[in-house]
Amino acid sequence: MTSVAIYARVSSARQKKDQTIGSQTAALRAHAAGRHLELPEEWVFEDEGHSGATLVRPALERLRDLVAQVGVDVVLCYAPDRLARKFAYQALLIEEFARAGTRVEFVRGPRGDTPEDQLMVQFQGMFAEYEKAQLMERYRRGKTYRARSGSVNVLGGAPFGYRYLRKTPECGATYEIVESEAALVVELFRRYTDDAASIADLTRWLTSSNTPTRTGKTRWDRSVVWGMLRNPSYAGQAAFGKTQTLHEAPGLNRRARLEGRTTPRAVKAADRPREEWITIPVPALITPATFERAAQRLADNKRFASRNSKVPSLLQGLSACVSCGYGYYRTSTTTSSGKKIYYYRCLGSDDYRYEGGRVCTNKPVRADYLDTVVWDHIIAMIADPHLIRSEIDKRLERARSSDPATRQRSRLELALAKATTAITRMIEAFQEQLVTIDELRARMPGLRARETNLRSQLDALEAQLADRDAYLKLADDLEGFLTQLRDNADTAEIPERQRVLRLLVKDILVGPEKITIRHRIPVRERTADDQHQDQDTTEGDSCPSYPLRWGRAVAVAQQRRSLGPGRAHRPGAGRRRN
């Protein structure tokens, strides 16, 4: 008997509440029973409240695992747009199931494997994708219109101090003041504006009051209090459209970069200009004057913060923890004699930043000890750049003795053009019905793999040529660059030393027993008119540079093997480290 698995999906919370997925499942069960298909009860997969614009859905993941491991004769779905909203995702899933010997059928849609049925599936997929984009645009414009008309149901929910009341046939959605929470909000603003309490003090006060946050947590965070002090709802004007979606790659913090993580989509949220916000009247808890005073103090704190007026830190933005990946910041303590001692401390070692306590056990490092170790090493490297010269000479010799890559690149480009042409001809043959879908599926993976392999070889060759050009340029410029730095290194102040370090050092990884310094050597761009440009033109990551890393046996920052003699320093060697 033919086995079948059924898949149903609804995307919105309203559809989930109205149990429309139940009607889909009932129709699928009836269809399977009418065709005398065997349906085990555990082979019913339902995704409630998951968008069809993504493949990351719990039930769909289980279905794909079942098809790959056990084998199913038929996967039954109500319509193509229930399987996926994007045509590319539909084609991917249908092809994946077909490779496992599973046929996909739709209750409302084509049911055969003829070219006409496949064309109909493609059209339905494209219409579903268009419908998704149309619904999103209508949804956006509808929310904007309701916000301009003063409706609070377009907001994500009520902030702390309010209760959200859903709309009824008699009246629209509103905010209702929660007296117990509102009293805390009023006291929060009073302490911040009148008593000059810090955000840390307010956080500890709210946590000690045993009042849960809006999300039900018992521990208040500084960012939550900071957001409350900036929320215009408490002054009677809720704001809609404070952020916007940009199709750009979101930034990664230092820890994510060291772990090699990437972002799945090139989309990020950014603040929208305040003049573009749409205000919605709500019940006020504080006066506009109080809110303005709080906003003014927040702005003053940002402008006159102590971190902006301290003695500059030599390793600011360069040091990171080798254990947890978080950056180091500078802090200080005062001795009984009144002497201030500065330390570099790992962000992961602060208890107050994390609900479960610290995530790193690395101890603080005396700032003066670490600054001296790093600066002495840079001075020694400038005075005797034998390590850098030998490393560059070795790579130059390799680049000069290697076979010319021009002919190899021409051969790869010709082979890539042939592979691309073969893929295009295969698709055209399928469209002209000269080959079947089975022949297309059998031959396309090999062609795609060859195209991908050729592109990878071509990219690697381009990188090799670029490296060779950088080596040649670097060899011509190294001596003059180091001579210019050596002349000013001994008498340089902290800002000048910062510039030198940021030119020569990529980052400094601090471990419990050693530090690792990873170098980069900037290249000055020379022109016919100016053979001696200013040093400023060498700053920044945008200039061509060559990263020379101590401890080449260390593959990633998290590995903590010995780097060999002379390639690692203990912070404060020969001195006591606090």
Q: Determine the Cα–Cα distance for residues 566 and 569; give it in Å rounded to an integer.
A: 8
In this prediction, residue 303 carries a pLDDT of 67
Task: Assess contact for 480 and 538: CB atoms under 8 A.
Answer: no
Query: Is 225 among the domain residues?
Result: yes
Residues 174, 134, single domain; the answer is: no
Residues 102, 51, single domain; the answer is: yes
Any bridge partners for residue 162, and if so which?
177
Query: Is 184 among the domain residues?
Result: yes
What are the pLDDT digits (tens) for 362-389? 889 998 888 888 888 887 777 766 666 6
Last residue of a domain, one of 97, 112, 146: 146
Residues 107, 228, single domain; the answer is: no
Query: Is 12 among the domain residues?
Result: yes
Q: How many domains does the chain have?
A: 2
In this prediction, residue 169 carries a pLDDT of 81
What are the pLDDT digits (tens) for 106-123? 887 665 556 666 666 666
Query: Is 406 among the domain residues?
Result: no
Query: Is 119 among the domain residues?
Result: yes
Residues 112, 40, single domain; the answer is: yes
Residues contacting 13, CB < 8 A, separation 6+: 49
Query: Is 108 among the domain residues?
Result: yes
Q: Determine the Cα–Cα distance for residues 348 and 324; give it in Å rounded to an integer.
A: 7
Query: Is 25 among the domain residues?
Result: yes
Check whether 263 has a pLDDT greater than 80.
no
Q: Which of 167-171, 223-227, 279-283, 401-405 has the lowest mean pLDDT?
A: 401-405
User: At 164, is the secondary structure helix, strand, or coil?
Assistant: strand
CA angle 379, 381, 384 (to 5 degrees): 110
The answer to whether the pTM exceeds 0.85 is no
SS (H, E, C) 189-223: HHHHHCCCCCHHHHHHHHHHCCCCCCCCCCCCCHH
Residues 139, 170, single domain; the answer is: no
Mean model confidence pLDDT for the chain: 75
Query: Is 369 among the domain residues?
Result: no
Check whether 100 has a pLDDT greater than 50.
yes
Residues 98, 226, single domain; the answer is: no
Q: What is the dihedral of CA 130, 136, 137, 143, to 10 degrees?
A: 160
Q: Which two tokens stand for residue 411?
A: 């051969």
CATH at residue 71: 3.40.50.1390
Residues 94, 217, single domain; the answer is: no
pLDDT band at 58 (very low <50, low <70, confident <90, very high): confident
Last residue of a domain, one of 117, 146, 175: 146
Last residue of a domain, one of 112, 146, 180: 146
CA distances from 69 to 66, 73, 100 (A): 5, 13, 9
What is the domain extent for residue 122? 4-146
CATH at residue 287: 3.90.1750.20
Q: Which two tokens stand for residue 465?
A: 């040529």
